[in-house]
Structure 1
Amino acid sequence: MSVYLGEFIGTMLLITLGGGVVAGVVLKGTISEGAGWLVIVVGWGLAVSFAIYAVGNISAAHINPAVTVGLAFIGEFPWNKVPGYVLSQILGAFVGGTIVWLHYLPHWGKTEDVGAKLGVFCTAPAIRSYAANFVSEMIATMVLVIGVLFVGANKLTEGLNPLVIGGLVMVIGLGLGGTTGFAINPARDFGPRLAHFLLPISGKGKSDWTYSWVPIIAPLLGGALGAALYRILFDQQMDLIYFAVVVLAVLSAVFAIVKDQQNKIKTQK
């Protein structure tokens, strides 16, 4: 099996199981309806673990463009394979979203909430503030990528790495996911969002493309940031490009703070 097919299958499994958990919780008439955020977070974490076990020995199971780009940024993955990996991940996520739609076919028509339907496929912020949402996704993905590098360097967890990384995703969801739904993966958000846009889902509403850039660009920057911080802090590599990414991330955070203060002033007037 090629590495690209491995990434396709791994990401497809991730979305089929992770998106399937969301569908079971938010769609009307399911047995698991209303099970809550904890079930969703645990489901996504276990979906990540299973996807890594499935294709880890084939493609290293990046299943996430932010991981692929982050590793390439620090020289741990060849740049010439990045486009193929990213395309495979997006296509796998699209097919995974399609499988979820098909599996829950009778429940779409019974669900009136268009936001809940969209939430099966992609993320949306709890409070829409693009700058703050961007920083939230950037921070969460930074934690993911630097955590993956920690796990890879720690022989203590060898053999259990997929479960440990699944646990990492769970704690990111619990600790950092309440703001934006923790996409932390451009393919996980874009592929199923595209499926939502194209599929004949009953009463589906709009696909919210105005927000879609946030869970694409922010995780890519967060992935590069996490990888750069790992190199700077733990490998003592002081390359200028690593510091440039850190500066860009800091500027993003400052911009978000300024926008938040401006919004507070507008609200008070």
Structure 2
Amino acid sequence: MSKAHSSGGTDELSITMEASENQQLKVSSMFHAYYPPGFIRKVVAEVVATFLLVFVTCGAAALSGTHEHKVSHLGASLAGGLIVTVMIYAVGHISGAHMNPAVTIAFATVRQFPWNQVPFYAGAQLIGSISASFSLKVIFQPIKYLGTTTPSGTDLQALIMEIIVTFTMMFVTSAVATDSKAVGELAGIAVGSSVCITSILAGPVSGGSMNPVRTIGPAIASNVYKSIWVYIVGPITGTLSAVMCYSFIRETNEPVQAISSFKFLRMRSHMHDEHVDVKDPIGYLK
């Protein structure tokens, strides 16, 4: 009798374990259906890239705001543009080097990026920004304002400036990141230069954020939340306007193809090796 009971218990345990394994397989299959195997690497790349972006831009801005002016306004703008360029070449082929939730949302809006991955990218960018901001707080004590962005005039002036400069940056990004006719080896330099130029102009008015997490991270670390809505609404409005504008004027009737300069460079190398027609690079990617 005890043997029969023991056998029955073993069978029930085996069935339970099998059901649990099947459930885990289903969950895993569902996850991989929406998130490719390399998705975690992309998220980590966004954390690292955004950390370095905020660390450099806000660090330079913090030093620029000291009485000694250890870094000039021009130097801070150059640092911001250069770190964007470097990060695009470093992780652009891995995650796309968004480093900006406004950019991620804009790409998703024109179907160049999956909506279900947007929260993960935005979360990664926010983590990178907050981590960099608190790192600066430890390093730069007793500096109080760690590259925080606040309007020098009215909120409306800062909002309009943020919309325009973010539009400029995103318009250039849309050209070099989505249009095969505009893709080239200097894509990263083009985007970084646009950030540098617009930062020089916007710095004295709004701080030239162009990126919600670039403002949110330092705001949390410095406990300064004045007019923070400007730096959320402005960049998102600017990026959405830019991608829609470029999608309208680009020279093609085909849907926008998501292609980065880094993929293009690798593709061109393969085409030379395999004697693929270079007149149809998009067809090669399909």
Q: Same fold (TM over 0.5)?
A: yes
Tell me which moved more, 45-54 or 221-230.
Answer: 45-54
* 2:41 is the counterpart of 1:15: no
| Structure 1 residue 69: Cα displacement | 0.9
Could you list the per-position Cα deviations for residues 192-217 of structure 1 after superposition, in whole angstroms to 9, with x for gaps in the alignment?
Answer: 211222xxxxxxxxx1x240111011
Tell me which moved more, 209-218 or 171-180.
Answer: 171-180
Contact 2:60 2:147 in 1 (8 A): no
Contact 1:66 1:141 in 2 (8 A): no
Residue 74 of structure 1 corresponds to: 110
Unaligned runs of 5+ in 2: 1-39, 254-286
Residue 170 of structure 2 corresponds to: 145
Q: How does 1:76-91 map to 2 (within 5 A)?
A: 76-91=112-127
1:12 counterpart letter in structure 2: F
Q: How does 1:206-225 map to 2 (within 5 A)?
A: 207=224, 209-225=225-241
Query: What percent of counterpart residues are identical?
Result: 28
Residue 226 of structure 1 corresponds to: 242
Residue 131 of structure 1 corresponds to: 156
Q: How does 1:230-249 map to 2 (within 5 A)?
A: 230-234=246-250
User: Normalized against structure 2, the TM-score is what?
Assistant: 0.69
Residue 251 of structure 1 corresponds to: none
| Structure 1 residue 176: Cα displacement | 3.6
Of structures 1 and 2, the larger Rg is shown by: 2
Residue 50 of structure 1 corresponds to: 86
Residue 38 of structure 1 corresponds to: 74
2:200 counterpart letter in structure 1: L
1:210–1:124: structure 2 CA closer, same or farther, 3 Å change rule? closer
| Structure 1 residue 236: Cα displacement | 7.2
Residue 190 of structure 2 corresponds to: 164
Contact 2:57 2:147 in 1 (8 A): no
| Structure 1 residue 6: Cα displacement | 0.9
User: Normalized against structure 1, the TM-score is what?
Assistant: 0.73
| Structure 1 residue 155: Cα displacement | 5.6
Relative contact order (alpha carbons < 8 A, sep ≥ 6): 1 or 2 greater?
Answer: 1
| Structure 1 residue 85: Cα displacement | 0.6
Partners of 1:172 and 1:46 in 2: how far apart? 13
Partners of 2:181 and 2:135 in 1: how far apart? 37
| Structure 1 residue 139: Cα displacement | 1.2
1:137 counterpart letter in structure 2: E
| Structure 1 residue 147: Cα displacement | 0.9
Partners of 1:190 and 1:15 in 2: how far apart? 10
1:154–1:36: structure 2 CA closer, same or farther, 3 Å change rule? farther
Q: Paired residues, what number?
A: 214
1:8 counterpart letter in structure 2: V
Could you list the per-position Cα deviations for residues 120-173 of structure 1 after superposition, in whole angstroms to 9, with x for gaps in the alignment?
Answer: 33211121x222321211111111111101222366662332222111101111
CA RMSD between the two structures:
2.2
SS in structure 2 of the partner of residue 121 of structure 1: coil
Partners of 2:176 and 2:244 in 1: how far apart? 16
2:197 counterpart letter in structure 1: V
Residue 96 of structure 1 corresponds to: 132
2:185 counterpart letter in structure 1: G
Contact 2:59 2:147 in 1 (8 A): no
Contact 1:157 1:164 in 2 (8 A): no
Partners of 1:164 and 1:177 in 2: how far apart? 20
Tell me which moved more, 149-158 or 175-184.
Answer: 149-158
2:249 counterpart letter in structure 1: L
SS in structure 1 of the partner of residue 150 of structure 2: coil
